[in-house]
Amino acid sequence: MLNQQFLTQFGENFVEQVQRVLDIDGYLLYSIDNINHTHNYHLFNISKNSLDEYLGKKIQQDPVCFRHFYSDHHTHVEFLGEHESNEEYLDFMQRWDIVDTAEIFFRKRNGEPIAGLSIVRENNQKKFTEQDKKILKSFYFLSEKYFQHHMDTVDKHFFMEKFNLTKKEIVVLEELFNGLESGLIAEKLNCSLATVKTHIQHIYQKTNVKSRQELLCNFLR
């Protein structure tokens, strides 16, 4: 289950930092359940009516809709102005005074997007530039580990039931997902490095993976 309170605070703080260096007129923060469904919309200076129209009729025509980039794990920032829109979508943008949007997709360690941020510029502004994209990507990657640490979760019951992990192995598993190296895990758990390495080897064997990265990609939800 997503921590919606954290997500809202994270999004607001992210936008606050962006506003220090880029001009924006509004934003929409939302949660992504799967490729077909979003929810928990948090709007600033964006009309609720425009969102309703977008979700009801226009989302299929949006060239930077999250659905187009859901499985592209390496895409984090896209600009509407860099893509071609049909006449109906251009009319929608004109009626709601939108000149461009920057779409940011926040992803878990396994690449699955779980939140999106649409930053809007109105018609009195210029479209986003390549330099703006570099800035937004920098903000994204600076906040990525912090975001993933709070949004990725370990389903303890799932691991214990399916893979027969012991309680000690679960504790080590959580620290692996927190990014700690073996030596720091041993120090934190007040045990020997050899013991931690043995636990890690057992975890790999039971979950049929060969590395920490494979473990993260396969099992973080």
Q: Where in the chain is the domain with CATH 3.30.450.40?
A: 4-151
Report pLDDT digits (tens) over 75-100: 999 999 999 999 999 999 999 999 99
Provide the CATH topology of domain 4-151. Answer: Beta-Lactamase (3.30.450)
Could you tell me the CA-to-CA distances from 56 to 31, 59, 212 in Å, in that order?
17, 7, 42
31-40, 154-163, 181-190: least confidently modelled range: 154-163
Q: Where in the chain is the domain with CATH 1.10.10.10?
A: 156-219
* pLDDT (0 to 100) of residue 1: 44
Q: What is the CATH number of domain 156-219?
A: 1.10.10.10
Top-confidence residue, 194 or 158: 194
Q: Please give the Cα distance from 25 to 7 (Å, whole number).
A: 21
